[in-house]
Chains A and B, each alone.
Chain A
Amino acid sequence: MSDSENQQPRTTGASREADDVSGASTSGEAAGPASDLGLLEALRRGDEEAYLSLVSMHYAAMLRLALMYVGSRAVAEEVIQETWVGVLQGLDRFEGRSSLKTWIFRILLNRARTRAQRENRTIPFSALVTTTEPFEPTVEPDVFRSAEDQHPGSWITPPAAWDSLPEERLLSLETRQQIDQALTTLPAAQREVITLRDIDGWSANEVCDYLDISEANQRVLLHRARARVRRALAGYLAAG
C-alpha cells in the first residue's frame, strides 16, 4: 500500500493551491484543505464516527442527485453505496487537487452515469450546456407596471408576506413536499446547482469547481432555480 499521500506535507491552504489545476478556485475557497486533512486522516484511520457523520451529512443531496440519473430510490441507494465504496478504495490515491467533497461527488456522478447507461436511461445534461442561455425574467413580467406607466417596473401586485403564516405550516411535511415537487420540475443543471448550494450548503466556488462552470453561469442557474421554487411555494401558500 502506498503511503506517499500521507507523507506529503499538506499543512496549509497554499500547498493545496499549488497543485490545483482548476482555474475556478483561484480565490482558495473551493476546497477546504484544513478540514479535509483532519477528515482524511480520520477516514484512513478507520474512524467510524467521522465516516458515518460524513455519510449522513451528504445523504440527502446524494440521493437527490442520484435520482436525477437512475429510476428508483432503491437503485439510487445502491449508487450511494457504490460511491462510498469507491471513496474508501480511492482514499490512498486522493491527491487533494479538489476538495474531498468535490472528489466524493465526482465519484457519485460517475457511478450514477454508469448505472443510467446500464439501465438505458437518458443521461441528463449537466450544467455545461447552458452557458449561453439568454436572459429570461424569473418573475412574471405582468406583475410589474409596463414601460408606458409612470413608474415602470414597479409592483402592480406585490407579493404577500409569509410572516403571518404559522411556523408549523411553513415547516410542515406538505410544504417540504411542495419544494421537492418544484425541484423535480427544474432543468437538470439548475437542479444540480440548487441541490449543492441550498440543500448541501456548498459555496459558489465549490459548485463552479465541481461543475466546471463560470461564476456568472452558476449564479444564473441558481437564481432561476431559487425563483422557481419560491414561486411554487408562493402559489401553494397563497392557496391556503
Chain B
Amino acid sequence: MIEHAMTCQELVELITSYLDDALPADARQRFERHLAVCPGCAIYLEQMRMTLRLLGTLSAETIPATTQQELLAAFRGLRHMGESR
C-alpha cells in the first residue's frame, strides 16, 4: 500500500467534517474507501446519523398553549400601539 490508510480511530474523529462535506477531496476518498470495507465504522456512522435524526425530533417540542396565547397577545398589542402612533 502506497499511501497511509485511514484507521478506524482516525475515521471516527472526521465524521462531523465528513457529514458537513468539509473534508478535502483526498481525505474524503480515504474516508469512503475505509468505510466501504469496515463494518464497524459503517455502524458508527449509522449511529451518528441516527443520533442526529433523534436530536432533530427534539425541535418538535410543542409550545404550551398559554405561552402561545401570551405571545400572540403581545404581537397584537404591539401592533396596535404601532398603528395608533
Contact = CB atoms under 8 A, between A and B. Distances in A.
Interface of A: 1, 46, 48, 51-52, 55-57, 59-61, 63-64, 77, 80-81, 84-85, 88-89, 137-139, 141, 144, 152-155, 158-163, 170-171, 175-176, 179-180, 194, 198-201, 204, 215, 219, 222-223, 226-227, 229-230, 233-234
Interface of B: 7-10, 12-13, 15-17, 20, 22, 38-41, 43-44, 46-48, 50-52, 54-64, 67-68, 70-72, 74-76, 78-79, 82, 85
A223 B54 contact: no
A179 B54 contact: yes
Given A138-B13, A144-B8, A176-B54, A219 B20 contact: yes
Given A89-B78, A230-B51, 6 more contacts: A59-B67, A81-B70, A154-B7, A170-B54, A175-B54, A233-B54
Contacts, number: 143
Contact of A155 (B40, B61, B68, B70): B40
Nearest to A175: B54
Contacts of A176: 54, 57-58
A201 B56 CA distance: 8
Given A80-B67, A159-B43, A226 B52 contact: yes
A6 to B, nearest CB: 13
A206 B12 CA distance: 25
A176 B53 CA distance: 11
Given A163-B46, A170-B50, A230-B51, A85 B74 contact: yes
Contacts of B44: 139, 158-159
Contact of A159 (B17, B47, B59, B63): B47
Given A60-B61, A88-B75, A200-B59, A230 B68 contact: no
A161 B59 contact: no
A85 B73 CA distance: 10
A139 B12 contact: yes
Contacts of A1: 82, 85
B84 to A, nearest CB: 11
Contacts of A141: 9
A77 B67 contact: yes
Nearest to A62: B63
17 contacts: A51-B71, A51-B72, A52-B71, A138-B13, A158-B39, A159-B47, A161-B47, A179-B51, A180-B58, A194-B55, A198-B55, A199-B56, A199-B59, A219-B20, A223-B17, A233-B50, A234-B47
Contacts of B46: 161-163
Nearest to A61: B59
A187 to B, nearest CB: 16
Contact of A226 (B7, B22, B51, B78): B51
Nearest to B79: A46
Contacts of B7: 144, 152-154
